[in-house]
Amino acid sequence: MNAMLIPASGLWTDVGAITDIPRRGARRVPTPGGDIAVFRSGDNEVFALRDRCPHKGGPLSQGIVHGRSVTCPLHGLAIDLASGEAMGADRGQGCAPVIPLRIEEGRILIRTDG
């Protein structure tokens, strides 16, 4: 996946092709507002969150993707990829902000204005 952001129309930024991210994998995208983690599930769904665990600040892009969640590599907090919310017994322990995204012709575009 390209580390360089390529401006798209409006406030959307092209960060690469879906196929640049392996199934059950993630990529870190640096932005002026902080790193973003872009995930691809085993079912080919794509999600984007701030690349920072809400509990200890771990890099979620280095976590293990399972189903529609990622587990923080620092201490095992499971985060729902769709909502950014902590799951299970850790529910209510914080939220990783969700980054809006869309797919156009196999390319991932993230919203970079907020």
**For residue 102, what are the domain limits?**
6-111
| 83 found inside a domain | yes
- Its pTM stands at 0.87
Total structural domains in the chain? 1
80-103 pLDDT per residue, tens? 999 999 998 778 777 899 999 999
Average the pLDDT over 71-85 and give the result. Answer: 93
As a whole number of angstroms, the distance between CA 107 and CA 93 comes to: 33
Give me 19's structure tokens: 């196929």
Q: Is residue 1 in a domain?
A: no
* Per-residue pLDDT tens over the stretch 25-61: 999 999 888 999 999 999 999 999 999 998 888 999 9
55 within domain boundaries: yes
CATH number of the domain encompassing residue 13: 2.102.10.10
